[in-house]
Amino acid sequence: MLRINNLVKTFDGERRRRHSHAATPEEARVFAVNDVSFNVENGQLFTLLGPSGCGKTTTLRSIAGLERPDSGTIEVGGRVLFSTNEGKKPVNVPANERGLGMVFQSYAIWPHMSVFDNVAFPLQVKRRGDRVSRKEISERVMRVLETMELANFADRQATKLSGGQQQRLALARALVIEPPLLLLDEPLSNLDAKLRESLRYELKRVQRELGITSVYVTHDQVEALALSNSIAVMRNGNIVQLGRPREIYENPNCRFVAEFIGTSNFLSGNVVSKDDDRYTVNTVDGQLVLDSAATLPIGTDVIVSVRPEAVEVSTTSRAGEVPNEWKGTVLTRAYLGDSLDHVVGLGKHELRTRGNPSTSIEPGTTVYLRMDPAKLVLVPVD
């Protein structure tokens, strides 16, 4: 298990100080990671997700020992790797003594070595007291190459592998030491879209089969949803929401998460009534009823998040039979292969819908949009 408690990492903001004579030393520090805490259970794949500069890679590098945090605690399998607990001697285990596996965005393979030697190298350079016999090295290397479907390439020069094979080689090299924790820093971002999707499922298979605890860093929301047991969405050095993929996608706790995870329409409104978990919200384009466990008083300004796939579009009305039917006009459409998007004008807003590609409606057509109350998300105004 990985435990992170109150992790803080700042960087010197000297450049900012030049532009502000009034800046104090405290104001000149930039928080890359700001009091971050989370746990990763054994065998889980935990993803740090967010835009560039949000602190996800700094958090990962702090776990790896490549960055020294200002304060906090990092513990893997009950072993303290970093700690600044008050009243106790500070702990900062060097990166090469942490025994963690790491896969980078770049493959970082040794071009002068064969596939076998690349994977064997971490075992060969272990400290003298932990040395592994040649027989065991051979067995462990071939076992992990079999897992990564690279056994047939063991004698091949590493640089003669394809991009996808080289990334699998980098993963094999990290796995061969049998680390208690595997750290992956955007390992698929240098691959083309089709290969990235293929390796995504392969990585998920390997991680589940081996049951290895992993922390994965990415800015790719689809990657995070497909791979993860749990996701922490980060912004400005903070975790803004932590939960399972479905929970984060279907119930974002703020507009930032709703915008960053997938595609969403946003409708500003005001709560006009509440009956248990059923809210009625007035917007400039009409009234919506929706189900939410949020506790918001009448009169609260809110944002209703509407996923495109949660909107049904039809050329016939069912007014009075179902809630949340709005009338609009198709402005444009886009065929996406496995789905078809329509953009519908409603007066003040445009609403994007997503449905079966067999249903294509001409621009200029009057349509009726229906939104299931259970699929609308009530988001407090940030």
Q: Which residue has the tokens 């030393």?
A: 25
In a shared domain, residues 173 and 301: no
Q: Which of 228, 255, 282 is the last residue of a domain?
A: 255
Structure tokens at 271: 């709560």
* Residue 25 CB-density burial (10 A; 0-12 exposed, 13-18 middle, 19+ buried): exposed
* pLDDT value for 26: 52
Q: Where are the alpha helices (DSSP H) in the chain?
A: 14-18, 25-28, 56-64, 115-124, 134-147, 163-175, 193-210, 221-227, 245-250, 255-260
Task: Report DSSP state, residue 23.
Answer: -
* pLDDT value for 123: 87
148 Cβ contact partners less than 8 Å away, ≥ 6 residues apart: 168, 169, 171, 172, 175, 206
Q: What's the CATH number where 248 sits?
A: 3.40.50.300
In a shared domain, residues 248 and 273: no
* pLDDT value for 52: 92
In a shared domain, residues 189 and 135: yes
* pLDDT value for 279: 95
> Residue 216 belongs to what domain range?
2-255
Q: What's the CATH number where 326 sits?
A: 2.40.50.100
* pLDDT value for 19: 46
* pLDDT value for 27: 57
Give the pLDDT confidence of 298-340 residue by residue, as tens digits. Answer: 999 999 999 999 999 999 999 888 899 999 999 999 999 999 9
* pLDDT value for 167: 87
SS3 241: strand
* pLDDT value for 382: 65
In a shared domain, residues 315 and 186: no
In a shared domain, residues 77 and 33: yes
Give the pLDDT confidence of 62-74 residue by residue, as tens digits. Answer: 999 999 999 999 9
User: How many domains does the chain divide into?
Assistant: 2
280 Cβ contact partners less than 8 Å away, ≥ 6 residues apart: 271, 272, 273, 274, 287, 288, 289
Dihedrals phi, psi of 262, to nearest 5 degrees: 75, -165
* pLDDT value for 62: 97
Which regions in the chain score pLDDT beneath 50? Answer: 15-20
In a shared domain, residues 78 and 165: yes
Q: Which of 205, 237, 255 is the last residue of a domain?
A: 255
Task: Report DSSP state, residue 324.
Answer: -
In a shared domain, residues 233 and 304: no
Q: Which of 255, 284, 299 is the last residue of a domain?
A: 255
* pLDDT value for 202: 84
In a shared domain, residues 230 and 285: no
In a shared domain, residues 211 and 282: no
Give Cα separations from 54 to 48, 106, 224, 261 (angstroms).
10, 20, 16, 15
Structure tokens at 337: 């292969």
In a shared domain, residues 161 and 27: yes
Distance CA 59, CA 218 (A): 12
Distance CA 30, CA 12 (A): 6
* pLDDT value for 16: 44
In a shared domain, residues 195 and 277: no
Contact 357, 336 (CB under 8 A): yes
In a shared domain, residues 173 and 268: no
